[in-house]
Amino acid sequence: MNTNEHKFLIGQRFVFIPHDNSLIDQFEDDEITRLGSNESRALGLLIDAEGTIVTRTRLHDYVWREQGFEVDDSSLTQAISTLRKALKDSTKSPEFIKTVPKRGYQLIAPVEAIVNTPCAQVPSTTDADVDMDASTSADSADCQNETHSAVNATHTPTRAAVHFATSRHTEHPQRVSSGLTHMVLWLCHRVSDRLYSADLG
């Protein structure tokens, strides 16, 4: 798993956002702590281990050596200590990071990946909906495109209506609806006149 592509809820309390090295405490009015890059990489590796023990050697490799640095063991100890402080954790009664003597560290709190959901599908639009304010904005361009597709998919206009709908007024859906209404009324009126004339004849 590439932890940089996700957000994580740790211990039902902290939201970890790897790409900007931030930790949000939901128990403290969403207090934000900015982690150092070393602490952020260490936490990401512990999360990726899914509750298994991560050796000190593996942490050294991932956090420093892969970045081109060689540090002594005290740097790892300091990074874990800083990380525990950010998580408001205790070394004596840990709830998040447990030290495994002579081996390494283990993330013992439950972790859930937070996945951003796509825009909800826009329901089919009725003629009444078309009369709504055309300035209503969607959350994203993709949502707007879906909305437009839904509106277009629910209508099968006549040739005259197609000509009207593709004119310069198409950027104003409420005008299109009004124009179609007037067209239908005019056609009904013409048909009524012809029927009346036929009866007189």
- Same domain (yes/no): 29, 86: yes
Q: Round to whole Å and give the CA distance between 82 and 96.
A: 13
Q: Which mean pLDDT values do the consecutive 10-residue runs of the chain (201 residues) have?
A: 78 97 97 98 98 98 97 97 98 97 97 77 50 47 38 36 41 51 64 59 56
Q: How confident is the model at residue 13, as a pLDDT?
A: 98
The residue range of the domain holding 162 is: 158-201
- Same domain (yes/no): 101, 135: no
Q: How confident is the model at residue 157, as a pLDDT?
A: 39
Helix (H, G, I), strand (E, B) or coil at 8: strand
End-to-end CA distance of the chain: 83
Last residue of a domain, one of 114, 140, 175: 114
- Same domain (yes/no): 106, 192: no
- Same domain (yes/no): 101, 130: no
Angle made by CA atoms 147, 152, 153, in degrees to the nearest 5: 100
- Same domain (yes/no): 64, 143: no
- Same domain (yes/no): 127, 170: no
- Same domain (yes/no): 90, 151: no
| pTM to 2 decimal places | 0.59
Beta strands in the chain (DSSP E): 7-10, 14-17, 22-25, 31-34, 54-55, 97-100, 104-107, 111-114
Q: How confident is the model at residue 144, as a pLDDT?
A: 43
Q: How confident is the model at residue 169, as a pLDDT?
A: 44
69 torsion bin: left (phi>0), alpha (psi -120 to 50), beta (else): beta
Q: How many domains does the chain have?
A: 3
- Same domain (yes/no): 163, 144: no
Sequence-ordered list of residues with C-beta below 8 angstroms from that of 68, at least 6 positions apart, any chain: none
Q: How confident is the model at residue 117, as a pLDDT?
A: 62
